[in-house]
Structure 1
Amino acid sequence: MARVVVIGAGMGGLASAARLAALGHRVTVAEQAGTHGGKLGTLRRDGFTFDTGPSLLTLPDVYRDLFAATGAPLDDVVDVVPVDPVCHYRFPDGTELDLPHAADEVPAALAEVFGERAARQWQAVMVDAAHLWDLVGEPVLQRPLGGVGDLVRRSASVRDLLAIAPWRTLRSLGRRRLADPRLRMLLDRYATYSGSDPRRIPALMSVVPFVEQRFGGWYVRGGLRVLCDALADRCRALGVGFRFHARVAGIDSDASGVTGVRLADGEPLPADLVVSDVDAEHLYHDLLPGRATSRARRALRRVRPSLSGFVMLLALRGRTPAPRHHRVLFPADYDAEFDAVFGRAPQPVPDPTVYVCAPDDPTVAPDGDEAWFVLVNAPRHGPVDWTAPGLADDYADRVLRILADRGLDVRDRVRWRELRTPADWERDTGSVGGSIYGSSSNGPRAALLRPGNAGPVRGLYLVGGSAHPGGGLPLVAMSAAIVAGLVGPA
Structure 2
Amino acid sequence: MGRIAVIGAGMGAMAAAARLAVAGHRVTVYERAETYGGAVRRFERDGFGFDTGPGLLTLPAVWRDLFVKTGKEPLEDCVELVQVDPSARHVFADGTEVSLPNASRAGVVAALDEALGAGAGERWGDFLVRAREAWDRTRRPLLEEPLWPNWPVLAEREPYPSVPHRRLLRTRRATTLAEVAAWELRDERLAALLESHALAYGLDPRTAPASAAVLPYMEHAFGTWYVRGGMRELARAVYERCVRRRVEFVFGAEVTRIVEKDGRAAGIELGDGSVAEADHVVADVDPARLRALTDRPLDEAGDVQPRQDAPTRFTVLLALRGAREAGAAHRTVVHAPAPGSEPAFLVSPGGDEPPRPTVTVLRPDDPALRPDGEHESVVLSAVVSAEAGWESEGAVRRCTELLLEAAGSAIAGLSERLLWHEVRTPGHIADETGARFGAVPAPALAAGEGRFLHPANTTRLPGLYRAGGWSHPGGGLPHAGMSGALVAGLIVEGPEFKGSQ
| TM-score, normalised relative to structure 2 | 0.90
For 2:426 and 2:186, how far apart are their aligned partners in 1? 36
Distance 1:467 1:408, change over 3 A: farther
The letter for the 1-side match of 2:224 is: G
State the Cα distance separating 1:299 from its structure 2 match: 5.4
Question: Does the 8 Å contact 2:159/2:447 carry over to 1?
Answer: no
Question: Does the 8 Å contact 1:450/1:468 carry over to 2?
Answer: yes
For 1:201 and 1:260, how far apart are their aligned partners in 2? 38
Q: Does residue 1:336 correspond to 2:341, yes or no?
A: yes
For 1:312 and 1:447, how far apart are their aligned partners in 2? 31
Question: Does the 8 Å contact 1:39/1:425 carry over to 2?
Answer: yes
1:471 maps to which residue?
475
1:218 maps to which residue?
225
Alignment of 1:393-404 (within 5 A): 393-404=397-408
Q: Does residue 1:236 correspond to 2:243, yes or no?
A: yes
The letter for the 2-side match of 1:36 is: Y
Q: Secondary structure at the match of 2:61?
A: helix
Runs of 5+ unmatched residues, structure 1 = none
Question: Does the 8 Å contact 2:96/2:116 carry over to 1?
Answer: no
2:125 maps to which residue?
123
1:379 maps to which residue?
385
Give per-residue Cα distances to partners, 1:134-183, cap 9 Å, x unaligned: 11112321101134x2463999xx89697799981111111110111100
- Name which of 296, 304, 310 aligns with 1:306: 310
Moved more, 113-122 or 371-380: 113-122
1:8 maps to which residue?
8
2:368 maps to which residue?
363
Q: Secondary structure at the match of 1:38?
A: coil
1:68 maps to which residue?
68
Give per-residue Cα distances to partners, 1:72-111, cap 9 Å, x unaligned: 2111111101000011100011110101113232111111
Q: Does residue 1:77 correspond to 2:81, yes or no?
A: no
For 2:351 and 2:60, how far apart are their aligned partners in 1? 35
For 1:489 and 1:233, how far apart are their aligned partners in 2? 25
The letter for the 1-side match of 2:45 is: R
For 2:238 and 2:414, how far apart are their aligned partners in 1? 35
Question: Does the 8 Å contact 1:4/1:273 carry over to 2?
Answer: yes
Q: Secondary structure at the match of 1:386?
A: coil
Structure 1 stretches of at least 4 aligned residues deviating more than 4 Å after TM superposition = 158-167, 296-299, 405-409, 438-443, 445-448
Kindly, what percent of the aligned residue pairs are identical? 39
Q: Secondary structure at the match of 1:140?
A: helix
For 2:160 and 2:132, how far apart are their aligned partners in 1? 15
For 1:300 and 1:153, how far apart are their aligned partners in 2? 15
Q: Secondary structure at the match of 2:389?
A: coil
Question: Does the 8 Å contact 1:349/1:378 carry over to 2?
Answer: no
Distance 1:163 1:350, change over 3 A: closer
Question: Does the 8 Å contact 1:9/1:38 carry over to 2?
Answer: yes
For 1:297 and 1:245, how far apart are their aligned partners in 2? 37
Q: Does residue 1:260 correspond to 2:267, yes or no?
A: yes
Q: Secondary structure at the match of 1:316?
A: strand
| TM-score, normalised relative to structure 1 | 0.92
Moved more, 88-97 or 388-397: 388-397
1:327 maps to which residue?
332
For 1:159 and 1:395, how far apart are their aligned partners in 2? 36
Distance 1:428 1:166, change over 3 A: farther
1:95 maps to which residue?
96
1:287 maps to which residue?
293
State the Cα distance separating 1:55 from its structure 2 match: 0.7
Residue correspondences, number: 482
Runs of 5+ unmatched residues, structure 2 = 164-171, 495-501
Distance 1:320 1:75, change over 3 A: closer
Question: Does the 8 Å contact 2:196/2:358 carry over to 1?
Answer: no
The letter for the 2-side match of 1:63 is: W
The letter for the 1-side match of 2:380 is: V
For 2:443 and 2:435, how far apart are their aligned partners in 1? 10
Give per-residue Cα distances to partners, 1:20-69, cap 9 Å, x unaligned: 11111110111111000110001122111111100110011111101100
Q: Secondary structure at the match of 1:58?
A: coil
For 1:45 and 1:484, how far apart are their aligned partners in 2? 38
Q: Does residue 1:451 correspond to 2:458, yes or no?
A: no
For 1:407 and 1:44, how far apart are their aligned partners in 2? 21
The letter for the 1-side match of 2:209 is: P
Distance 1:468 1:166, change over 3 A: farther
Distance 1:101 1:299, change over 3 A: closer
Distance 1:442 1:377, change over 3 A: farther
1:34 maps to which residue?
34
